[in-house]
């Protein structure tokens, strides 16, 4: 029953993920052939620095000319694990033009240029699959675009960056401050030398853009995602969170807006109750909650990064794309028919936890409460703590538009009796 002519695969990039893809392709050839229905051959591996290729990667397949590899004419599938915008974008486009389908793990590129790449794939009758771009090995793209294709997704709420979850988990469990926890993450290889993309939320924002687009069948770009990093989360914030029965996570949140005519996508640190399943996601693990109209609440959990997990996702896509090639069909492409616009952060309805340093004298609470009332933000709880002339007020609000909450905080800063705003954090997952 099996076709004997192999499907030929070009691998672009051979770092942590690529070398693992190459290893599995060359050691599990029989299983891959059985699952695809034809042999799958690793036909070439393009790298920038051939001297750095890891042991075990077939040396005779290595080339530094990625363009020539993609243009060879006999390549059925291009696996792109280079990352970044260029040359990845040009190579993927060239792959489509030469009849190849593409499996990519490139979240930054998909979040920025997903629509154009999907259009190019469709124009050339090719597939563009990218399960590995979001949350490593965790099946998320396929469940959202296939398993839930008959349902209406209302909300996606997830921990999609392992580095920041590791840091926040350390801060929570050990009481460490941000820089101490970052140092530990760096020492253990969980954070890169320049951790900006992770700790400032850029990585999570790219994933949020991809997830929101698939979940709501509309186009969401990286620029549409509101983003706050987690570098300003303090040990004191964790102490406050504990007093509320919460912990702090960096969350990616994609929601339909109240009236159903728009969507929002955002990344920021937030308090979530300890009873929420996301609260117990430890170390560098990822987990994503999906709320759908018929399905209810689903959660997907697993390793969100790393060579092997990401390679697992790449290879799952590779099998699917190869099967499609054999069937002369393509899998689901971009689905953006709802054309729902992305609303700005101002319109997001959420809750705030605000910690104020205030003068320790009568009437302060009344003043503060008046400011909230003037902005029509309803207070859920207030906790006053005072010692030696200093006092703090912790206010947790009911749900209100982010714009109203921001305006409230601005007005609070102007009160004489408010010496400072120690921390502001959104409260989610309730």
Over its C-alpha atoms, the chain yields an Rg (Å, rounded) of 24
To the nearest 10°, report the CA torsion of 168, 174, 180, 185: -60
User: Which candidate in 207, 249, 361, 387 is catalytic?
Assistant: 207
Cβ proximity of 211 and 252 under 8 Å: yes
The reply, when asked if residue 13 is annotated as ligand binding, is yes
Half-sphere exposure of 71 (CA within 13 A, CB side): 7
Closer to its own copies at the Cβ: 294 or 388? 294
Give the residue, chosen from 9, 20, 212, 216, that forms a contact with its own copies under the rule CB under 8 A: 20
Does the footprint of its own copies cover residue 249 (CB under 8 A)?
no
- Other CB atoms within a 10 A radius of the CB of residue 95 amount to 28
- What one-character-per-residue DSSP string does 279-311 give? GG--TTEEEEEEEETTTEEEEEEEE-SSHHHHH
Does the footprint of its own copies cover residue 146 (CB under 8 A)?
yes
Beta carbon of residue 141, minimum distance to its own copies (angstroms, whole number): 9
Beta carbon of residue 24, minimum distance to its own copies (angstroms, whole number): 6
Helix, strand, coil content of the chain in percent (nearest 5): 40, 25, 35
Q: Which stretch binds its own copies (CB under 8 A): 148-156, 199-207, 234-242, 408-416?
A: 148-156
Closer to its own copies at the Cβ: 25 or 377? 25
Give the residue, chosen from 332, 378, 380, 385, that forms a contact with its own copies under the rule CB under 8 A: 332
Structure tokens at 269: 């640190």
Count, residues near its own copies per rule CB under 8 A: 57
Does the footprint of its own copies cover residue 330 (CB under 8 A)?
yes
The reply, when asked if residue 19 is annotated as ligand binding, is yes
Does the footprint of its own copies cover residue 302 (CB under 8 A)?
yes
Q: From CA 221, how far away is CA 212, in angstroms rounded?
A: 9
Structure tokens at 155: 């909300």
SS3 at position 351? strand
Q: Which stretch binds its own copies (CB under 8 A): 49-57, 107-115, 159-167, 286-294?
A: 286-294
Closest CA to 129 of 338, 329, 337, 313: 313
The reply, when asked if residue 162 is annotated as ligand binding, is no
According to CB under 8 A, which residues from 80 to 139 bind its own copies?
Answer: 131, 137-139
Tell me the per-residue interface mask from 303 to 322 with its own copies, x by CB under 8 A, - otherwise: x--x-xx-xxxxxxxxxx--
**CA torsion sign, 233 to 236 to 241 to 242?**
positive
> At which residue do the structure tokens 């040990």 appear?
235
Residue 334, preceding peptide bond in cis (omega within 30° of 0)? no
Does the footprint of its own copies cover residue 199 (CB under 8 A)?
no
Give the residue, chosen from 15, 26, 35, 379, that forms a contact with its own copies under the rule CB under 8 A: 35
Largest interatomic CA distance in the chain:
85
Closer to its own copies at the Cβ: 339 or 414? 339
Beta carbon of residue 74, minimum distance to its own copies (angstroms, whole number): 22
Beta carbon of residue 96, minimum distance to its own copies (angstroms, whole number): 18
SS3 at position 425? strand
Beta carbon of residue 315, minimum distance to its own copies (angstroms, whole number): 2
Closest CA to 20 of 48, 53, 68: 53
Q: Which stretch binds its own copies (CB under 8 A): 27-35, 42-50, 225-233, 368-376?
A: 27-35
Known active-site residue 207: yes
According to CB under 8 A, which residues from 150 to 179 bind its own copies?
Answer: 150-152
Closer to its own copies at the Cβ: 117 or 311? 311
Structure tokens at 146: 């296939």
- Other CB atoms within a 10 A radius of the CB of residue 408 amount to 24
Does the footprint of its own copies cover residue 276 (CB under 8 A)?
no
Query: Which residues are part of a known binding site?
Result: 12-19, 107, 192
Query: Which residues are part of a known binding site for L-homoserine?
Result: 192
The residues that are catalytic are 207
Q: Which residues bind its own copies (CB under 8 A)?
A: 20, 24, 28, 31-32, 34-35, 131, 137-139, 142-143, 146-152, 217, 277, 280, 292-303, 306, 308-309, 311-320, 323-324, 327-330, 332, 335, 337
């Amino acid at each position: 029953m099996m076709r004997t002519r192999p499907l030929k695969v070009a691998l672009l990039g051979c770092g942590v993920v690529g070398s693992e893809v190459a290893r599995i392709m060359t050691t599990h050839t029989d299983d891959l052939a059985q699952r695809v229905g034809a042999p799958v051959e690793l036909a070439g591996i393009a790298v920038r620095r051939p001297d750095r290729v890891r042991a075990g990667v077939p040396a005779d397949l290595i080339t530094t000319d990625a363009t020539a590899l993609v243009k060879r004419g006999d390549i059925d599938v291009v696996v792109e694990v280079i990352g970044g915008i260029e040359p990845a974008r040009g190579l993927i486009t060239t792959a489509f033009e030469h009849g190849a389908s593409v499996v990519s793990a490139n979240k930054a590129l998909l979040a920025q240029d997903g629509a154009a790449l999907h259009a190019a794939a469709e124009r050339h009758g090719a597939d563009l699959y990218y399960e590995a771009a979001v949350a490593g090995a965790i099946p998320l793209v396929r469940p959202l675009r296939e398993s839930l294709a008959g349902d209406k997704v209302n909300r996606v709420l997830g921990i999609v960056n392992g580095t920041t979850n590791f840091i926040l988990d350390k801060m929570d469990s050990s009481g460490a401050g941000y820089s101490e926890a970052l140092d530990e993450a760096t020492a253990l290889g969980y954070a890169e030398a320049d951790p900006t993309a992770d700790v400032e939320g850029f990585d999570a924002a790219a994933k949020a853009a991809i997830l929101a687009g698939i979940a709501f069948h509309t186009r969401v770009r990286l620029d549409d995602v509101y983003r706050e990093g987690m570098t300003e989360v303090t040990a004191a914030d964790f102490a406050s969170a504990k007093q509320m029965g919460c912990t702090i996570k960096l969350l990616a949140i994609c929601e339909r807006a109240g009236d159903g005519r728009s969507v929002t996508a955002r990344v920021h640190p937030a308090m979530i109750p300890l009873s929420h399943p996301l609260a117990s996601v430890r170390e560098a693990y990822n987990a994503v909650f999906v709320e759908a109209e018929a399905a209810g609440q689903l959660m997907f959990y697993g390793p969100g990064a790393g060579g092997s997990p990401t390679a697992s996702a790449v290879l799952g896509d590779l099998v699917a794309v190869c099967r499609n090639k054999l069937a002369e069909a393509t899998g689901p492409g971009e689905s953006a028919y709802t054309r729902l616009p992305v609303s700005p952060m101002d319109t997001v309805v959420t809750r705030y936890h605000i910690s104020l340093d205030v003068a320790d004298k009568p009437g302060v609470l009344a003043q503060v409460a008046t400011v909230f009332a003037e902005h029509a933000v309803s207070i859920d709880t207030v906790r006053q703590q005072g010692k030696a002339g200093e006092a703090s007020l912790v206010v947790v609000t009911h749900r209100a538009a982010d714009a109203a909450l921001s305006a409230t905080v601005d007005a609070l800063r102007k009160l004489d009796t408010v010496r400072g705003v120690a921390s502001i954090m959104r409260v989610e997952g309730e």
